[in-house]
Amino acid sequence: MPLSYSIVEVPYHLGMQDVAVGKGPASLLKAGVDQILASKSMPATVNHVRPRDLRNQGQDAIVDINRMLRYAVKEAVEQETIPVVLAGNCNSCVGTIAGLRVERLGIVWFDKHPDFHTPETSISGNIEGMALAMAVGQCHQEFLERVGLERPVEERNVILGCFWDVETGERERLEESWVSAHAVDSLGLLPVALDQLKDRVDAIYFHIDTDFVTGVDNPANFVSLVRESIPIAAVGITNYNPDIDENGEWLEEILKVARALQPGTMQ
């Protein structure tokens, strides 16, 4: 039986609408992701997140968007659906997690990059490289408080999978953490890690940075594995930039990943 999903569209890149990866959500909707996530022959409903104050810029705009995302996720949960957040940036994880009310929440995070930097280790200072670290409460505390993330996820309840591009400083942080890390060349124990996580949490936030599909064979199979292994409270699908996908091959792989969120879709 299909799961009951709803879609939350967040078309922003670092607070700017329809720029770069901010174009991704509209492209996914145009390609029919709402039909893919249909339940009982009805397309998934779509809620469009927009900032409350259009005058905000920079981090203030990102905070505003995440606050509005928090409300949209909360509403989706109240309607007894699983919110699938189509977002430009990975920092959308903050607003998504803030909107959930799961007593014991875990994270499964698929991404080319671990996003586990802090301001102390990041060379660029880009908040996007710190998204997972923020979700576990390790940096940007003021940002988390402003968005309303009261309970970051415990490190030991995080699985990071399918990554391969790790920077200096970030690698050391991962090695010293309780995160269960499974690089693209060592995914054999991922099923075991998921089985162990299932005993510690009630449900997960499943983060799918779409660049992960470029480095693994049959990426949809890994999504199916997660869906079959552990209850999902919310999904984030991020970082698709149609401007650099001229032949549409990246989009096709993302749509396969979306199909894998429904039962009976092992590729």
pLDDT score for 3 = 82
Task: Write b or e for each residue in 157-190: b if 16 or more Cβ atoms lie within 10 A of its Cβ, otherwise e.
Answer: bbbbbbbeebeeebeebbeebebbbbbeeeeeeb
Distance CA 265, CA 257 (A): 10
Distance CA 134, CA 118 (A): 8
pLDDT tens across 135-175, in order? 999 999 999 999 999 999 999 999 999 999 999 999 999 99
Closest to 89 measured CA to CA, from 21, 135, 140 = 21
Q: Read off the pLDDT of each residue in 184-193 and give the average, rounded to a whole number.
A: 96
Distance CA 257, CA 84 (A): 12
Q: What is the mean pLDDT of the chain?
A: 96
Distance CA 43, CA 74 (A): 20
Strand-pair partners of 207: 109, 236
pLDDT tens across 54-107, in order? 899 999 999 999 999 999 999 999 999 999 999 999 999 999 999 999 999 999
pLDDT score for 146 = 98
Of the pLDDT bands very low, low, confident and very high (cuts 50, 70, 90), residue 2 is: low
pLDDT score for 66 = 98
The answer to whether 15 and 58 are in contact (CB under 8 A) is yes
User: What three-state secondary structure class fits 222?
Assistant: helix
Distance CA 25, CA 62 (A): 16
- C-alpha angle 61-21-100 in degrees, rounded to nearest 5: 60
Q: Is the predicted pLDDT of residue 265 greater than 60, yes or no? A: no
Distance of CA 60 to the CA centre of its chain: 21
DSSP state letter for 119? T
pLDDT score for 267 = 47
Q: Could you give all domains of the chain from N- to C-terminal order, each with its CATH number?
A: 5-259 (3.40.800.10)
pLDDT tens across 219-259, in order? 999 999 999 999 999 999 999 999 999 999 999 999 999 99
pLDDT score for 169 = 93
- Token match 């880009």: residue? 126
Burial of 200 (0-12, 13-18, 19+ CB in 10 A): exposed
Distance CA 150, CA 94 (A): 10
Amino acid at 5: Y
Q: What is the CA radius of gyration of the chain?
A: 17
The first and second tokens of residue 109, run together, are 């995070």
The answer to whether 104 and 201 are in contact (CB under 8 A) is yes
Amino acid at 125: G
DSSP state letter for 179? -
